[in-house]
Structure 1
Amino acid sequence: MYTRELKNIFINLSEIEPEVLRRYMLNEVGEKAKDKLYNYLKDLSESYPQFENWFYSVVIPEVERKKGEREIIIVFSQSAHKVVLTGIAILKRRAQEKKICTFRVHEDFRNLGIGTELFEKCFEFLGTRKPIITISQNRKDMFESHIRAYNFVETQMLEGYYTQNTIEYVYNGFLVDI
């Protein structure tokens, strides 16, 4: 079991130089960094059927263009001599929409403050403490404490938006592409 003795490193993927990224990624996830990041999140395709296509065709190209509209924040945690990928957030920052698109903390590292720190990094990048965030009904419980802590306001309940017979809860705004 991990304790709060972790040293957490937060990295904005678009802002780091290739050598720095390579050092962390080779240490943690190996040569195929994009694939390893995707594999960390791929179970989300159960709730979001187009997740893989979106990740590779939208997110990665937008982050690589470095225009500041899309970001991936990754969290590495170091305990003793081991460095582990413990969290990822995918963000969208546009004039009409500031959104946390994906938010994940590794299940072995939950309740250690990493999620709270990662939310703070998201708010910093997005320039708001009330970004739009959508949460599938089957993952809502794991976000409940943060929803309350940050006073997120439920603004939409969309049945079947991403997956048939599943409710997607929208907080702090409205999805513009309905």
Structure 2
Amino acid sequence: MKIKIKKNFYYRVSQIEPEVMRHFMINEVGEKAKEKLYNYLRDLAESYPQFDEWFYNTVIPEIELKNGEREIIIVLSELEGCNKAVLSGIAILKKKQLEKKICTFRIHEDYRNQGIGTELFEKCFEYLGTKKPMISISQDRKEMFEKHIKCYEFEETQILKDYYKKGSIEYVYNGWLTH
């Protein structure tokens, strides 16, 4: 049975109002905000070794600086038939002078094919100031991004073997990854 969404809310973590976060955390009792976000993404560690170190030691400190170079956009979806908002999507972005990148992009499998991904891409483009940000996608996740790659006419610029994980291929669009 597909879960129906009543309304979606998109928030930048660096700008989220305490009341919004408090309401969300009340609905998601038992986890602190950082751990909630990490747990939503932790399966990415299978494709990206040291994902947890990157998240906690790079992403979170850079977000806390609030200098605009790193951002997390979350999607909270209000579900039909109940007064509950759930974390349905997340994007981690890097916005440096020479690099505008979607580092992580995830829509929860229960809420896919309802337009959240398309709207989240648009929010990413708005924040990054470009419709052609760099994005890399592991071979095991490439199929789920095909629709958006074609829709936004992302240009495949690199195919890297063993870049993040031995035995895995990383497809790079709209830019180049360097070591």
TM-score range relative to shorter protein: over 0.9
Query: Is 2:107–2:116's contact at 8 Å kept on the other side of the alignment?
Result: yes
Q: Tell me the residue number matched to 1:6.
A: 6
Query: Is 2:13–2:72's contact at 8 Å kept on the other side of the alignment?
Result: yes
Structure 1 outlier segments of 4+, above 6 Å = none
Q: Tell me the residue number matched to 1:64.
A: 64
Report the Cα distance in structure 2 between the residues aligned to 1:7 and 1:76, rounded to whole angstroms.
9
Out of 78-87 and 17-26, give the one that drifted further: 17-26
Q: How far did residue 83 of structure 1 move?
A: 1.3
Query: Is 2:24–2:86's contact at 8 Å kept on the other side of the alignment?
Result: no
Q: Please tell me the residue identity of whatever aligns with 1:93.
A: K
Query: Within 5 A, what are the aligned runs for 1:139-154?
Result: 139-154=141-156
- Give the superposed CA RMSD: 1.2
TM-score for both structures, normalised by structure 1: 0.95
Q: Does 1:131 align with 2:130?
A: no
Q: Please tell me the residue identity of whatever aligns with 2:92.
A: I
Give SS of 1:157's match. strand
Query: Within 5 A, what are the aligned runs for 1:3-152?
Result: 3=4, 5-28=5-28, 30-79=30-79, 80-81=81-82, 82-152=84-154
Report the Cα distance in structure 1 between the residues aligned to 2:29 and 2:112, rounded to whole angstroms.
20
Gaps of 5+ in 2: none
Report the Cα distance in structure 2 between the residues aligned to 1:120 and 1:60, rounded to whole angstroms.
23
Q: Please tell me the residue identity of whatever aligns with 1:20.
A: V
Report the Cα distance in structure 2 between the residues aligned to 1:8 and 1:30, rounded to whole angstroms.
23
Query: Is 1:89–1:103's contact at 8 Å kept on the other side of the alignment?
Result: yes
Q: Deviations over 1:70-117 (max 9, x none)?
A: 000000111232211100000000001000000000001110000000
Q: How far did residue 30 of structure 1 move?
A: 4.1
TM-score for both structures, normalised by structure 2: 0.94
Give the length in aligned residue pairs: 176
Q: Deviations over 1:37-56 (max 9, x none)?
A: 10000000000001000000
Q: How far did residue 26 of structure 1 move?
A: 2.9
The structure-2 alpha-carbon separation of the partners of 1:147 and 1:75, relative to structure 1 and needing over 3 Å to count, comes to: same
Report the Cα distance in structure 1 between the residues aligned to 2:135 and 2:88, rounded to whole angstroms.
20
Out of 102-111 and 16-25, give the one that drifted further: 16-25
Q: Please tell me the residue identity of whatever aligns with 2:126.
A: E
Report the Cα distance in structure 2 between the residues aligned to 1:123 and 1:47, rounded to whole angstroms.
25
Report the Cα distance in structure 1 between the residues aligned to 2:19 and 2:78, rounded to whole angstroms.
20
Report the Cα distance in structure 2 between the residues aligned to 1:28 and 1:9, rounded to whole angstroms.
16
